[in-house]
Structure formats: C-alpha cells, structure tokens
Structure 1
Amino acid sequence: MTIAASAPVPQGALPKHDVADLSLADQGVARIEWADRAMPVLRQVRARFARERPFAGSRIAACLHVTTETANLMRALVAGGAEVVLCASNPLSTQDDTAAALVAEYGVSTFARNGIDRDGYYAHIDAALDTAPHYVFDDGCDLVNTLHTARTDVLDGVLAGCEETTTGVIRLRRMAAEDALRFPVVAVNDTDTKHMFDNRYGTGQSTLDAIFRATNTLLAGKTVVVAGYGYCGRGVASRSKGMGANVVVTEIDPTKALDAAMDGFRVLPMAKAAAVGDVFITVTGNRDVIRPEHVELMRDGAILANSGHFDVEIDVLGLAALAVEGPRRVRPSTDEYVLADGRRVLLLAEGRLVNLGAAEGHPAAVMDMSFADQALTAEWLVHTARSLEPGVHDVPAEIDKQVASLKIETMGLEIDTLTSTQQDYLNSWRHGS
C-alpha cells in the first residue's frame, strides 16, 4: 500500500499522515476536548511537561487505539517536546475524526483509517517506524514484533518502550524468555493504577456498552458466559451481574476459577457453558476460546463478543465454515450466521475488540490514569533507558502512587496519613505483640 495524503493539503504545513478525511478535524477537536475534561491527571502532567520539556530531541512512535483519550496522551508528549508519530493498533477502533484532528489541529503525524485492511495496517506501522524512533509505545506488541522481524533496520536506535495491554505483555515476556527482546520495555499494563481500574472498570463498562449499542439486548435474566477471569473478566462479570444477568465463568487457571466461584459465579468448562449461555464474552488473551464445537451447542440467537486485544479468541473462520448462510449485517457491528438447523449466531465487531469496534472504548476518566502512567513512565525512561537491561520491567512504584494520589485529589477525596508512631511501628521489627 502507498501512503498518501488523504485530502488536499490545507494552507500551512501538515505532518506526514494517512487519515480518512481531514475535514472531520473540527468534530474531532470537540470530542478530544470533551475527553480532556475527564482527564485531570493527564492534564496536570501535560502542563508540567510544557514547562519542563523532558522529551526535547526525542522521537516517539506509538501503535495505540486512535481514540480521543489517546489523542490527549499524544498532546502531553508533544507538549513535552517529543516528535510523535501515531499509528492504529486496531483497524476498527480508529476514530476518523480524532485522527484528522491530531494531524490538522495538534500537528501529530498520524497513520490511521477506520476499517483499513491488513496490508494497510502494516503499512501504517512501517510509516511510524520510518521515523527511526527512540522510544515506542505499543498496544498489543505488533510494533515491537515488527521491529524485531521486518524492520530490524531501525531496531538499534530504539532505547526503550512501553506496553499497555495484557496480550502485549504476554508476548513480550515470551520474547524475553527466549532472549529475543533487544531493548527494555515497561509493562505499563501491570501497574496497579492501570490494571485495577482500566482493565476492570473500563473493560467492564465499555464491553457492555458495546453489546448494548450493537444489539439493544436486555441482559437481565439472560446467562452471560465470561471466558477468562483476570482483571478484565472480573470487570465484565461484575457489571453483567449488576445488570441482572446470570453469570458463568470459564477458566483454565484453577486459582482464578476458585476466585470466580468465591465471588459467587458459576464456573464451567466452555463445552458445558456453550449449551446454557445467551451472551458469550471472551477476555483471555488466548486464541480459539470459542470454537465450532462450542457453537454447535449454542442456543438460537446466541451473541458472541470478544474483548481480548486480538481477533483470535473467537474462531471466526470456523464459525463461517459451520454456517450455511452469512455473515449478514443485521445491525451496525452485528453479523448473523445461520447454521444448518436454522439456529442463528450473532457475531459482534467481526470478532475484534468489541468495546472499541462497536463503541468508544473505555471512559476517559479511567484512561486518565492509564495514560498518565504511560506519560510519566516515558519521562522516567528518558533518564533511565540506557541503564536498563533488555527485557520486561515494572513501572516504578513511585509513579504508580503519584498517579493514584493525583487521581484521589482530582476526585475531591481525602485519605489518612501515618502518624510518626505508626511509621515507626511499620518500619521496625522490634515491636512485640
């Protein structure tokens, strides 16, 4: 695919880009500013970055969901003096008006179009890597993977990176275990102010939001099968229960299965859950979680949705091979497959990340913490990257606590502080019972 300007270039130089329609920029600006209102922590970080310019002289390439919240992260990095290029980590999550605004209003080189094909997706990643970045932000590890395979020509110039998803961290740890990872990457996903809130509350709310938008179904009284009981699965299960659904959890990890059972959820293998479920939501980070043998057991009208990062958790090709009709688009983001006996199965967002493919992703208020983590970790890497070994690293605890403290403050909450006696007690082993 050839990357070209998407529209006649208006007066004034624009950064390199490939977006759907620059005329959408004003609409995008309005939505980005709306999200900014709910991101006070990142707004404070941006203001400080503008004063201190910690990224002056640094090039950052980011492969993230191109949403209004991501746009505000890009604004913070640019305010800090970085030269930033952004490409999309998922073809269906790109908000075309946001991409246009990033180019036309905020001067961020952006390569993202909603619905772009696989070749275009990787052409956009190549365009981002053409800048020879010093730092990389990834959402699923595709940028880092490409650096280590097809684009080793710019690999030596990369000092460090950040990864924001569970799926991406799993892939990175596998690379590190095989001594394949050539530079340090910080697992932003694993810090408390990210996974405890973004994964649980963000995924929980946005996944159900997407299902409602796509199907207008009533969850109350239905059986919702949640595949995976990590933080994302916990959020989806608890929100489904709150909407009146009967929730079944499937798991491969005995500890997480036990956790789900003690939270009051029924635990079944997918082979049994398939026969009783009405709505199925995969959040595992693995592939082929729902396969044709499961689909064959499902009720008429079963709804399949995926909130894992990649479109491999539901075997879409297997579903298509099983069907005698379809896919037929029956509602926005809803495709109907008809089986040989007349039963219908509804697949949402083509099996891709449903909360971004059929809705707007996480609320800005929760992404405020995740992207503050990203921005502050990037600043930390400017000072420490050269001293870190290649591999997967944790976000420093002080950054995590700083973000939590700022969020508490912006929410108007107050917490206790330790007295000197309490500090002495915690810091000493000499106190008896």
Structure 2
Amino acid sequence: MSEHYAPVSEHLDDIAEGTSAGHEMEFRDLEAARKEGRRKMDWALQHMPILQELREQFEADQPLDGEVIGMAMHVEAKTANLVELLALGGAEVAITGCNPLSTHNDVSAALDANDDITSYAVRGVDDEDYYAAIDAVVSHEPTITVDDGMDMVFTIHEEYPELIETIVGGAEETTTGVHRLRAMDADGELKYPVFAVNDTPMKRLFDNVHGTGESSLATIAMTTNLSYAGKNVVVGGYGYCGKGVAKKAAGQNANVIVTEVDSRRALEAHMEGYEVMPMAEAAKVGDVFITTTGNRDVITREHFEHMKDGVLLANAGHFDIEINLDDLSDLAVEEYEARDGVEAYEMADGRRLNVLAEGRLVNLAAPISLGHPVEVMDQSFGVQAVVVRELVENAEAYDAGVHDVPDELDREVAEIKLAAEGIEFDSLTDEQSEYMNSWAHGT
C-alpha cells in the first residue's frame, strides 16, 4: 500500500501558494489555511440542520466506535461537516478527493487538523498523485467505505482484496458510481454490501434535481458572465440531473432543447414542453451545451463540426468523458485560455468552441465553483450518515451487492428536515393504514 503519500498538511507549499477551489487566496501558512477552511465549514453547518441533529445523536451514542472509514469525496465545506460528524460518532476517518479539481485546500487542511481525521486531498493533482492518495486512504484499512464515483471500492477490489473480509460495507453517493457498482454486482464481482445512496428519494428528488440544476447553471453563469435569457440551452440526458438543469434553465428564460437515448424520457421531456431532438441536430442551433448522462462521448467530432461560434460546453456528469476533448483538440488549430476556467478551441474557419472546467464536473471543478447549495447537501449527507450507522448496527442483514437505502432511514432524514423548518404534516389514521394495506376492501 502507498503509505508514503503525505496528508495535506505536509503539502505546505501547495497550500501556501495555492488556492481554495481556484480563488486567488494566498495563505500565509498552514494555520491560516486551516482557519479559513474552518470558517467555511462553520458557515455551512449553520445551514445544515440535519447534520446538526445527527451530530448530537452520534456524539452521544458513539455508533461508529472502533470503525475506520475510508472516503473518496469532493472535499469542500459541506462534505467536511459530514466527515466531522462521522468522527464525532467514534470513527477514525481518512479521506481524499474524488475529482482532482473539486478539493478546497483550506478545508482539507482544516479537516486534517482533527486528531481523528486524516485528509490526503489536494487540489489540482495529476493522475498519479490522485490514485496515490486513494492508496494512502486504503492504507488505513477501512472497515467502511464512502464513495462518490466508486474509485475507492474499485481500488480495494482490484489492488487490496485482502481487506474485503474485514469491510462491513459501503455507501455510494452519485449516479456514475451506482452505475459502475450495479455493473460490478451483475458480474458477481462486488464482494461487500454497498448502499446506493444516489437512488434514494431524498437524494434524487433534491440533490440531483435542485442541487445539480442550480449549481451547474450558477457556475456557468459566474464563470462566463453570460446570461441564459433567449439562448438555446441543450441538455444532454433527461434523468434526474437533466430534469433539474432543464427546469432551472427554463426558469431563466432559456429555450431548452433535450437530447435523449431513452424513448420514455424523450417523451417525458416533450410533454414537459421542451424541444427534443438528436444531438446532431441540436449541435447546429445550441448556444450552451450541458451534459448530464454519466456516459461517454455524448458530444463528439460530428457535433463540433456543426456548432456555432462562441458556444459554451459544460459537463454536469461525474467524469470528464461526456465531451470528447480529444476529438475537439484534433479539430482545433489553436487552444488558449479565454477566461479563468474557460478553454477556447479555435477551428480552422475561425469558430471558437469554449469548454468549461476542462470538461470535468462543472459545478465543482470550475475555478469559482462551490458545488451544490448547502441545504441540498445537508439532506444527501444526512442519508450518508444514517446509512453508515445502519451498516454498523445491522451488518448481518446485508449480503455482498448493491442495496437500496431502507425507506425508514430516508424518511428519518426528511422528518428531521421538516422539524427543523417548523413544518408539520399529516399522518394516516389506523383506519386509513388498514385500508391501504388490505386487499379485502371492494367498491
């Protein structure tokens, strides 16, 4: 195992020179970085009532006592509050990034100052150091994994299978990771239980729709200083994330075009009032392209060849494979940075196609991005926390494979949120419950 890869606090040069999520903020020293990271975390926690409630419960009950949690996540202020919650519950936590451009160095340094947490996340690392940091997390010999994209689970299965016997289970946060896990499970290769947090209602209905929709559009607007009003915004994919992007773009007076490969989703988008067409046709008229599929090669050479001058290309899927940058680079006669976070590819005919955040997850990898709104991530991370607790308390109930989050846990998180907002709601009477659960009642 790669035990020699240093925690973030030993990357003092990276912190001192560098930035937090691309902001031009130089830190005098490591202590200054930690202070700024803590300030961000404290602000986020003020607006995370679910995690506040769970912090009290976990600190009092110590449900994770003796566990070692290995995490590969977007290391920023909201995630950091989940990490500290798990540590307060009794766990030793080791964490690194799940995307080379989504780490906030100051937040990573603040986490690493906690005696129960080791953070290896540093923004802007190359592929070698990215995977070396994952190896370093695995060197802690985790008993539970928490992933965003499945790189941690994959690494353990491929390189450290001897650890699987002592792993209680895991949790996966995002669509791409769940797709990979389900494929792995179908092949009989997933050797411990993992909860598909992404697929639970509290994640899909809020994080994917409102979180991805709002944060992606906000990041693109702030990065480019351009408006959506009157523009043709092409949304690649109409899953939960695509629905959110389309809905929020329409709310900002854009003309929304949806591309899809699934007939029912294409019909759904049509019935919601959006234009639906193949990407080959959308490429000719689009002004802003946002991919949300989790699949590769959504936008390729055949599309670049027909795009208008000045188009914006952004990816709101997990990995940087949805926009084929190799094809784009082959077509370009010149590449240059048009603006912070915007790479212009100039074609032979003078057209400029602009790629945001290197084609990576735009709402987390762009220079001024901050990720999903705090309130949204409070809900998703609340589900992550109760799932980890469930793995420890009821491990024997789950065999190796992908598992849905138990409905009562999802509802627990929703009820904490409603209580914090002072919102009351109805409940079924005994008679109503009996009626709904019986097949004997006729007309």
Please say whether Structure 1 and Structure 2 have the same fold, judged by a TM-score greater than 0.5. yes
1:353 partnered with 2:355: no
Do 1:29 and 1:105's aligned partners in 2 also have CA atoms closer than 8 Å?
Answer: no
Q: Which amino acid aligns with 2:45?
A: D
Partner of 2:396: 386
- C-alpha distance in 2, partners of 1:424/1:141? 42
Amino acid of the residue matched to residue 112 of structure 2? Answer: V
Letter in structure 1 aligned against 2:365? G
Residue number in structure 1 paired with 2:267? 258
Query: Cα–Cα, structure 1 residues 215 and 106, in superposed 2: closer, same or farther, change >3 Å?
Result: farther
Give 2:139's aligned amino acid.
Answer: D
1:320 partner amino acid:
S
Equivalent residues in 2 for 1:393-432, closer than 5 Å: 393-432=403-442
Task: Quote the residue 1:149 is aligned against.
Answer: 158
Partners of 2:110 and 2:289 in 1: how far apart? 36
**Change beyond 3 A, Cα 1:193–1:9:** closer
Matched residue type, 2:128: D
User: SS of 1:149's equivalent?
Assistant: helix
Separation in structure 2 between the aligned mates of residue 428 and residue 182 of structure 1, nearest angstrom: 39
**Distance in 2 separating the partners of 1:91 and 1:370:** 22
State how far apart, in whole Å, the 2-side matches of 1:373 and 1:50 are.
17
Of the three residues 277, 280, 293, the one matched with 2:286 is 277
Structure 1 partner of 2:141: 132
Q: CA deviation at 1:330?
A: 1.7
Q: Distance in 2 between matches of 1:424 and 1:130?
A: 52
Query: What's the CA shift string for 1:90-134, capped at 9, x where partnerless?
Result: 011101111011112564200111111100100000000001110
Q: Which stretch has the larger CA shift, 148-157 or 371-380? A: 148-157
**Structure 1: unaligned runs, 5 residues or longer:** 11-19
Distance 2:244 2:321 in 1: 21
Residue 324 (structure 2) pairs with residue 315 (structure 1): yes
Equivalent residues of 1:25, 1:105 under 8 A apart: no
Give the drift of 1:418: 1.8
Give the alignment of 1:287-302 within 5 angstroms. Answer: 287-302=296-311
Structure 2 partner of 1:216 = 225
Give the Cα separation in 2 of the matches to 1:106 and 1:259.
50
- Which residue is 1:172 aligned to? 181
Amino acid at match of 2:361: L
Q: Deviations over 1:332-364 (max 9, x none)?
A: 111111001000000000000000012110011
Counterpart of 2:385 (choices 362, 375, 384) is 375
C-alpha contact (below 8 Å) 2:8/2:121 kept by paired residues:
no
The answer (yes or no) to whether the contact 2:111–2:117 under 8 Å persists in 1 is yes
Q: 1:140 to 1:27 in 2, by over 3 A?
A: same
Pick aligned residue for 1:4 from 3, 6, 9:
6
Q: What residue number does 1:335 align with?
A: 343
Partner of 1:14: none
Q: Distance in 1 between matches of 2:211 and 2:74?
A: 14
Farther off after superposition, 21-30 or 211-220: 21-30
Residues 283-317 of structure 1 deviation map (CA, whole Å, 9 limit, x = unaligned): 00100101011011100001000010000011011
Is the 1:164–1:189 contact (alpha carbons within 8 Å) kept by the matching residues of 2? yes
* Cα distance change, pair 7–239 in 1 and its aligned pair in 2 (3 A): closer
TM-superposition CA deviations, 1:234-269 (whole Å, max 9, x none): 000000000000000000111111111111111111
User: 1:32: how far off?
Assistant: 0.3
Q: Distance in 1 between matches of 2:207 and 2:374?
A: 10
The 8 Å contact of residues 22 and 104 in structure 1, kept in 2 or not, is answered as no
**Which deviates more from structure 2 when the two are superposed, residues 403-412 or residues 205-214?**
403-412
Whether the 8 Å contact between 2:314 and 2:359 is mirrored in structure 1 is yes
Give me the whole-angstrom Cα distance separating, in 1, the residues matched to 2:197 and 2:133: 23
2:18 is matched with which residue? none
- Give 1:218's aligned amino acid: S
RMSD of aligned residue pairs (Cα, Å): 1.7
Task: Classify 1:426/1:319 alpha carbon distance in 2 versus 1 (closer, same or farther; 3 Å).
Answer: same
TM-score relative to the length of structure 1:
0.95
1: CA distance, partners of 2:163 / 2:30: 30
Unmatched 5+ residue regions in structure 2? 13-26
In structure 1, distance between residues paired with 2:373 and 2:270: 29
Q: Which of 376, 396, 409 is the equivalent residue of 1:366? A: 376
- Per the alignment, residue 41 of structure 1 pairs with 50
Q: Is the 8 A contact 1:324 1:340 kept in 2?
A: yes
User: Do residues 78 (structure 1) and 80 (structure 2) align?
Assistant: no
In 2, the alpha carbon distance for the partners of 1:214 and 1:310 equals 20
The secondary structure found in structure 2 opposite 1:226 is strand
Pick closer, same or farther for the CA change 1:8–1:187 going to 2, 3 Å: closer
Partner residue, 1:17: none
Task: Measure the CA separation in 2 of the matches of 1:103 and 1:205.
Answer: 30
Specify the alignment match of 2:112 in structure 1.
103
In 2, distance between residues paired with 1:430 and 1:175?
A: 42
1:152-174 residue CA offsets vs partner (Å, 9 max, x unmatched):
24333222110011100000010
Mapped partners of 2:82, 2:8: distance in 1: 24
Query: What is the one-letter code of the residue matched to 2:380?
Result: S
Relative to the length of structure 2, the TM-score reads 0.93
Query: In the aligned structure 2, how far is the partner of 1:247 from the partner of 1:314?
Result: 19
